[in-house]
Structure 1
């Protein structure tokens, strides 16, 4: 790994006299625009400003241990360490091949064997606790406060509120656009949460490097202008239940959050700060703050696209065998994938008997499917519910690795307490040993695990296209929110690709023959816009073969890239991104239910002449969502293109040098 590092280390020792006084410590972002200030007195508080505008007001942080010790109450600084770091991270299976990691760091070392580490980047700030205590410690609570100077609007995704456990959720809820003061006091939401400040500034709260510790929810703080962290207590008792008995429901929780090593780093608490909304479309904070890869050889990890069965209900047609969960149907999917350059197929729920993972139903000959796929150069993935896999993890990984399976889609975890976070890490490490990739569904938001274990190639934690099968959610609105909010945390398995596309008036939720809201080109653009190293084609092969132009474009879009540029966007209205792989560029833009015209500046292109294959909404796309126009034109970096998008529409292009 190439690292260009400049370290400037300053050590300040404070006398016992100075320690008796309140102490203030300040670090700035490398560009000097962000100030991160820490005040140490009776408590530890932190605050953040950007260009003299307050982003986070003084907010208390602490960590409480079972022995009654509170790290942050009457703390005494022993010494401080400051450093400026400028690295280049060689990213693995990411939206860019190199991530510039430039920050200023302050470490406050306290008596009682703990420290607070703070970083200031040009795009935000982060802090974390560090402890150096012997043996194991029990964390009973954490105080993570985010105070604002006004009652600002927020994008807040409430958790479900089931009677049994507020912390047991799918992490797919919609964003309520509400003032901080109107956040309900008796429930929680999950990160990232986005807050709108004056002057167009946005502040997004999330976390990174979550390991052996519960994930951070957010709830209304003590004042009407504040948010505070909330964490699922450790599960003491669980019962099997949920969908087909694949889930584990917590029936009793402990009075502590985690039992963990006494010497460790705790998760980063992050505030991402933007002046323009489009900056949120290309942010690397979570990736930078994650632990580096623990897999030495990553050459076998090959993400890509996958022909998927469940969304389209196996509804292929024009064949001489009964379609469904059977060997012949999957051979049909394999033929489709091979003919169109799709790297994988997935056997979703149903290939194994309910609640099992080491057996198949009689209609499935798994060895024959894998052998046939291998002869065609197509990989096979298997879906698994959480509980059967957790109960037989070692055996299942061994059996399916030896059989030639490429990866597992694991579903219905639906929690992020310490025990579940430990499951993610255990599975990721063991799967890597067996050279198996992972796609986490029913999953909490990414916190950088995909950097630590690059065999983890996607996460759900998003209200994906599957929901159109039963929901009238406003998807074009949601689609134009999540790239600015949820995608800040990392990749998302939204599963685009619908070939049946409807305007608002014509849309119906149909479980077995689903359609998307918005236009065909809206769906095509999502393959460029949304980060998804493992990206599914949701519709069925028959429909794709009936739409060869759309299918060829989807197949041509890579799932990982060498460069990403945020072109334009506004939260909940529209988004436009350009991504490069080699010398080919891909551009995707979408809008909400408002028709829209934007100007696309092509100055991101290098010098020379280029040809662009363009998909744009057809003249009648507002009436008939499948209406689109494909055109090919010559362009250069000096050009500007006027993009017109229909309601719920989009625009997509593949741009390559003219030979």
Structure 2
């Protein structure tokens, strides 16, 4: 009888032990960040930095269409913590190498799935993985971020295009991922609006938390939405069930109906990383590389053909050249003029933006009669200027292999693909297919109309740039109430954390406060001329546009010379100072030369830049700073040339909306 009692007790107790709560811990290599993962009836994690609780009991789970929930009553089958220290090559980024150092907590659960947490000195990331071989439908993912108090945020909502009426999430899933930031408390977030990533949260003691994702593949992108209390919850677009051609010039596929699941996945795989980047000082965010190092390694074996550079761009300035004996527009003569301009100034590429292909056909083999494309390509090749073609996404997708082969054989160097305007799994799959196919044919890509980067530029280095930014194009039509000056000193700490930005700077018409107005055919920037030059240093942009008219640049030779010779990828980057939405200064090195770019918001500012970051020696400094009247006339600037050493301090006054740009050439 006693033996029977013991057996019955064991039958009751042993399963209960499998459900016993367990807490697992990992910390950053420097010990400042600690992540605690508690596995109980559900799975939640807590993130602390230097004793400050930044995230508390944040939930995570994955629900399959079968009803199985990874994260509910989960039973651990094994766990381990593994340190890692290495270096990643970054040939087309803000530094030539990336230090990759973290402690990794791997938790395996019964049922052939698990979780991986990585804890870096600069933040943490986690993701699910599956060891199952069969195909799975993912119905939902819970990625919650719970905060201990009513922290402030810098939030970019999906833009509301319905004249003030509330839009359903389904309507919001179609968007261009462009908006300015609102400073709002967690409790004040609008529960009816989706938030696109990255999102910045203000924590105690001046710390910040930047939330984003990386290694997004065969899965929809992550949105956030107001949760209960002081929390954020995840939202994902359902998998498209039916689509139809439409949208901008019939160049898109519009989703008309969605499935009741978010993703279909095949075989053993990992899922995207959910990232919380932590900064003790704002400036650290401006040189963050976590999104890059969490991405999958390069799938392009030979990258010797990939050439970053600058692009003479036609669309922003509305093909508005003058002083010529032909009518400018989308025609061969205009593009030869652009090529001649690029050739004389060492600019690597000219883009043919929307208009070169017959409108409303979504067919990239129908070229308008005014364009002799083979002649333009030949003319560019003679002058070592590459041609990049704009393409609406559906026109590119519907015959991708033939389009890439045909235009690569003609000598085109790449495509600017536009108007994707969604990030469901179908669209994410397109982005990866396009990247792979373009790489096969040695074509560069610039993804416009695109969600934020998620490390794709590491996996496919031929992808040099991404939009997903409220760039200078907005000032062709936006009223003065759209504050680009404040936006410019905000995005280095948020959007740029995710990766490169096709912001398209370089305006030569510059408006001081109160003087800006939208003029589509002759657009201007908000802020000063020196600010526009500084943006070429401050913003990460390996394929970087010269947005203004070649004719305008040729009237501004000092500014043109500085822009034309500036690198677009870097060997080293240093954040010198910065405060979100107020100011930022970055220094970047290429070879032995250094560049410094600094910008301010609408508050004028005196800066003293300590040059001790420079290697010892003497440098020839070329400085562009705001002129004495830049507060009244934005194009007023002063150029100075003198010698400095690493022991000097550089003092410079920034006008409201101003900036400064420096080149330092090593003398000895």
TM-score by length of 1: 0.97
**What does residue range 337-416 of structure 1 map to in structure 2 within 5 Å?**
337-354=342-359, 355-416=362-423
- TM-superposed CA distance for 1:356, in Å, is 2.5
Contact 1:592 1:649 (C-alpha < 8 Å) held by counterparts: yes
Name the counterpart of 2:506: 497
Aligned to 1:444: 451
* Deviation of 1:161 (Å): 4.0
Contact 1:88/1:100 (<8 A) preserved = yes
Match of 2:123 in 1: 124
Q: Secondary structure at the match of 2:391?
A: strand
For 1:26, the equivalent position in structure 2 comes to 25
Contact 1:165–1:250, Cα closer than 8 Å, also in 2: no
| Residue of structure 1 equivalent to 2:150 | 151
Q: Distance in 2 between matches of 1:248 and 1:450?
A: 25
Indicate which of 563, 566, 572 corresponds to 2:581.
572
Deviation track 1:22-75 (CA, whole Å, cap 9, x = no partner) reads: 111111100000001100111111110001100101111000001111000000
Q: Distance in 1 between matches of 2:149 and 2:302?
A: 49
Preserved contact between residue 304 and residue 344 of structure 1 (Cα < 8 Å): yes
**Does the alignment pair 1:635 with 2:644?**
yes
Mapping 1:463-612, distance limit 5 Å: 463-472=470-479, 473-612=482-621
How many angstroms apart in 1 are the aligned matches of 2:19 and 2:553? 71
Q: Secondary structure at the match of 2:266?
A: strand
Distance 1:643 1:135 in 2: 62
Q: Which of 232, 248, 255 is the matching residue for 1:250?
A: 255
Task: Name the SS of the counterpart of 2:493 in structure 1.
Answer: coil
Gaps of 5+ in 2: 1-13, 162-166
Deviation, 1:92, is: 2.2
Tell me the CA shift for residue 174 of structure 1. 1.3
Give, in whole Å, the separation in 2 of the partners of 1:497 and 1:18.
Answer: 64
- What is the aligned partner in structure 2 of residue 618 from structure 1? 627
Cα separation, 1, equivalents of 2:46 and 2:463: 34
Q: Structure 1: where are the runs of 5+ without partners?
A: 1-14
CA RMSD across the alignment:
1.0
What SS does structure 1 have at the residue aligned with 2:338? helix
Aligned-residue offset at 1:20: 4.0
Which residue does the alignment assign to 2:108?
A: 109
Q: Distance in 2 between matches of 1:264 and 1:454?
A: 22
Are the aligned partners of 1:409 and 1:438 in contact in 2 as well (CA < 8 Å)? yes
CA shift, 1:21, in A, is 2.0
| Matches for 1:448-467 after TM superposition, within 5 Å | 448-467=455-474
Measured after TM superposition, the shift of residue 19 of structure 1 is: 3.8
2:19–2:74 contact (8 Å) kept in structure 1 = no
TM-score of the two chains, using structure 2 as the length reference: 0.95
Match of 1:192 among 187, 198, 204: 198
Q: How far does residue 111 in structure 1 lie from its aligned partner after superposition? A: 0.3
Q: Distance in 2 between matches of 1:405 and 1:655?
A: 35
Tell me the number of residue pairs that the alignment of Structure 1 and Structure 2 aligns: 644
SS at match of 1:398: helix
Match of 1:12 in 2: none
What is the CA deviation profile of residues 591-628 of structure 1, one whole-angstrom value per residue up to 9, with x for unaligned ones? 11111112101111001111110000000000111100
Question: Per-residue displacement from partner, 1:443-462 (whole Å, max 9, x unpaired)?
Answer: 00000000000000000000
Instruction: Measure, in 2, the Cα distance between the counterparts of 1:261 and 1:166.
Output: 28
CA contact (8 A) 1:309 1:346 kept: yes
SS at match of 2:144: strand
Structure 1 residues 65-80: aligned runs within 5 Å? 65-80=64-79
